[in-house]
Each structure stands twice: as structure tokens, then as C-alpha cells.
Amino acid sequence: MNTQANMNRITELSLGMGILVLFAVVYGYLLMTTQSSYQVQKHYPDWQGVSWIKAGEIPGVGYFRKHFTLSAIPQRAYFVVSGTDGVSVYVNGKLLGSKRYFGARPSRVIDIGSLLRTGDNLLAIRVESDILGVAPELAGRLMLADASGRWFKIKTDQSWRVLRYEDVQRQGEVNWYSPVYSDLHWTAAAMVTAEQLTPQLPLPVPEYVYQRFPRGDWIWAGNNKVATFARDFIVPGSKIYDAWLGISNMGRYSLVVNDVPVISIFGTKKTMELVNIAPYLQPGNNNIWLQAENESLLPRLLVSGSVTTDEGTLKLDSGLQWKSFLQPDNTAGFRQQAPVMVRAAINSGHALAAISLLDKEAQWSDLLMYDRLWQWFIFSVVVLLLSLLLFVLFYRLCRKFSALSEAGGISACFALFIRPFVPGLIFAAVSLLLPFDLKIDASFVENFNLMLLVPATVLLFEAFILLEMRFAGRSLDEG
């Protein structure tokens, strides 16, 4: 009998300890995400005033076309697009981007300025839908800025033409996305009601980046084919919301942020790669290093940078604030020189508007990943130790308020102690699954109310259990 009772106590203690460890791990992760200086922001397209349109009524592939006329080449032009499952965008017959994600609406922003021309232009989009009962649906907004900086908008509506099969003309020589293809036999797009819409994915790069970039000055140093450019800066505030760097270089370049390698690729003067550097930054002092090389020409670099914090926005555009270093021929280290600067429109013959923006996803560095895992471990251990310390206090009160045997006291008190951690664990897990920017007000997260609400709930339940034992014990004594 005693053996069976001991086994039951061991089982109860093991199960309770497992719940406590799991709570520490989940709540530790919640602490890491809310206490981190980098608060992940999700940016969704603004479809206010934009109609969702569809091709037909059943799942499959839908094809959409829209002709528009330009009297002049815009200074900036980008297309915000979202569709069911998969979207491929063609501008004047050229494929600019394709994105697919089953079960949600992938969204993205595409710079199309380099492909536009005066006169007739064509947007052609292929949309896939594998969702049962959902037809291929599309929302799009073409943004055009003239020389004075005024923005104009072309939106998806019933003027778009749609078809449910891939069509070709002239014996296969003219595809459906070609400007010379005739879509007279296509039908008008149908409207989609809000109730029919499925969840939508956030944008890989926020729209405001395409409105602000490219900007800055082309910089270079001396006559070497390899040069390193650096920028030291102070990030104000305590929370980093967004930080984007656009880089254009005629050759290979490597980016290092706060001594952590971020990306190393080939670039051109006609494209600017957009890189999210927010996870690599910290409040206070930071540094950026860019090594540029070119075998045939001098390394020339154009950088557009923007950091958004709880205290405002910081610009990191290339200019006189940047330092340049030339690689010595026979000695180690760098030699510092003042950078030579000139406006891109004057030096290269290409205005900044001629540079196309490309989203280039940078993989997280192993060093950064290990740092976050270490933070998670520390937070989890601290939560576990505080929980065990709380149990010591709970056990003393439990023994004081209840008539429990010495042998069964620990297991019985621990079984009561662990109960509030079950709803606390569920609350913390649900909080992690909820997208903060959609389901919870931003200030709610910034003030750490969510972080404090979980332990407050657990402590409230613990106090309720102790009070219940206290009053139950008093009534027994009185009886």
C-alpha cells in the first residue's frame, strides 16, 4: 500500500515538474520576444479603396491583364500585389516576381519603374488558388510618382480583364502576358466580398521603403579596386521597430553589422538590394562595414538606410558621414581616407529613379541565432528558479493551513501549487501564437502588460488556493 502511494506521489511530482519546466520554457520565450530591443513588426498592404477581384468561381489558375497609358516616365513606380496561394507578375511582357504560399495570401511590393515606358503599358498577373471553394483572387495597387513627387494610383477593379486558361496567339509566338496579345475575348473581372477573403501574409519589405529609397550619394575612395566603407552611428531609444539598408554597388560587396556578417553578393549600379538589418542592431552605439570590389572599375557604393525606433527615424544614407578605408598592398589592416562623394545623377549618368529595388532576404547569422537561444535559456532558467522559490513559500503556508502528513505533504501541496500554471501555460502559448499587430494593440506589448499578465494570473490563482485552504482550515477548527 505504501509502495503504491509512493509511486503515485512520484508520478504527481514528475507530472507537476514537467508542467513547471514547460511553463518556464514557453514563458521564457515570451520574455525574450517582449524584452528584446528588436520588436518584430509585420507590415500588411493597405487595401483601403482597393477592390479584390476574381476570375471565375472555382479554384485553379486565373489570368489578369490591365493596360494603362503614361505620358511620361514616372520618377518612382512600384506595384503592391496580393493573391490566393501564388502570384506571378509580368510588366510589359517581362516576369518581375513570383511568390507562392499555400493556405494564405502572399503579398509583396515590386519595383517596376525600369520597365515602364511612355504610351501603352501592360500589367499581366497569374494567380493560383488551391483552396477548396476559393477562386483565383487578386488585389493590386500601382503607385506612380511624377517629377514633382505627387503620387498617382492604379487599382484593381472591374476594368481588369480575366481568363481561366493560359492562352497564346500567332501559333504560340505571342503569350498571354505580351503587350501585343489581344484580350478582346477576355471577360471583365468579378468583385470579391470581404466575407470571402482568407487570411493574408505580411509584406517581406514594408511599402514605405519603396517610397523613400533609393536616396543618398555615390561614394568611392582613391583608385583601388577594393575599398571598405564604414559608418558609426547611435540608435536612439530602447526599441528598434524597423531597420532597412539598400545597397547598390558595381561589383561584389560584403555587409557586416556590429561585427556580424550579414550578406555577400554581386550588385550593379542599376539595382539596389534591400536588407533587413534590424535583428543585428542594438540601442546605442552601432557600426556598419561594407567592403566593395570591382575588377574593371573603381568600387562605387550607394547606400540608402533607415532605422525606426520608439524615438524616431534615423537615416543612414551614403555621404560624408561615411568613412572609407583602402586595403594596403603589403601590410595588414586598413588605411583611412576621407571619402570622395558625388551625386549619382551627375557622375553615373543615371538618376536615382533608374535604380530598381530588389528585396534580398539575408539569412540570420549563426552568432545571432546562438545569442537568441542563450537569451531564451537564461530567461527560462530564471523563470524556473523563481517558480521553485515560490513553491517553497507556498509549501510553508500550505503546511500551516492544512492538516497534511509529513510524507504526503510535499506531493499534495505541489499538486495544488501546479494547478494555476496550467492556465498560465495556455495563456503564454496563445499569446505567442497571436500576431501582436493584428489581435493586440501595439502599446499593450510595448508596456509589457502582456508579459506581466501571465505571472499575475498565476499568482492570483495561487493566492486563491491558499485563502481557500486557510478558511477551510478555520471552519474545521471551529467545528
8 A C-beta contact, residue 417 and residue 396: no
DSSP 115: G
Cα separation of 126 and 85, whole Å? 11
Q: How far is CA 352 from CA 121, 139, 147, 209, 252, in A?
A: 22, 28, 12, 14, 20
The pLDDT, as a whole number, for residue 339 is 60
Q: Mean pLDDT of successive 10-residue segments in the chain (479 residues)?
A: 63 80 85 66 83 88 94 90 89 83 75 91 92 85 88 92 90 90 93 66 87 85 77 90 89 87 82 88 91 74 91 90 66 49 41 71 59 79 88 80 60 80 81 50 45 77 78 47
Structure-block grid coordinates of residue 221: 575612395
The pLDDT, as a whole number, for residue 4 is 61
Confirm whether 53-201 and 209-360 share one CATH topology.
Answer: yes
Q: Which residues pair with 228 in a beta bridge?
A: 291, 325
The pLDDT, as a whole number, for residue 323 is 84
The pLDDT, as a whole number, for residue 69 is 94
- Bridge-based pairing of strands 356-359 and 271-276 is parallel
Q: From the options 2.60.120.260, 3.40.50.1000, 3.10.20.740, 2.40.50.140, give the CATH code of 53-201.
A: 2.60.120.260
Domain boundaries, given as residue ranges, for the chain: 2-38+369-478, 53-201, 209-360
Residue 141 class from Cβ within 10 Å (0-12 exposed, 13-18 middle, 19+ buried)?
A: buried
Please list, in sequence order, all residues whose beta carbon lies within 8 angstroms of the beta carbon of residue 321, skipping any fewer than 6 positions away: 231, 233
8 A C-beta contact, residue 153 and residue 98: no
Q: How far is CA 191 from CA 52, 124, 157, 186, in A?
A: 6, 18, 7, 16
The pLDDT, as a whole number, for residue 409 is 65
Q: How far is CA 349 from CA 212, 346, 353, 355, in A?
A: 21, 6, 12, 12
DSSP 279: G
Residue 39 class from Cβ within 10 Å (0-12 exposed, 13-18 middle, 19+ buried)?
A: buried
Cα separation of 93 and 89, whole Å? 9
Closest CA to 209 of 417, 4, 43, 49: 43
The CATH number of domain 209-360 is 2.60.120.260: yes
The pLDDT, as a whole number, for residue 173 is 87
The pLDDT, as a whole number, for residue 78 is 93
Q: How far is CA 19 from CA 25, 176, 410, 418, in A?
A: 10, 59, 16, 8
The pLDDT, as a whole number, for residue 347 is 42
The pLDDT, as a whole number, for residue 473 is 54
Structure-block grid coordinates of residue 328: 594596403
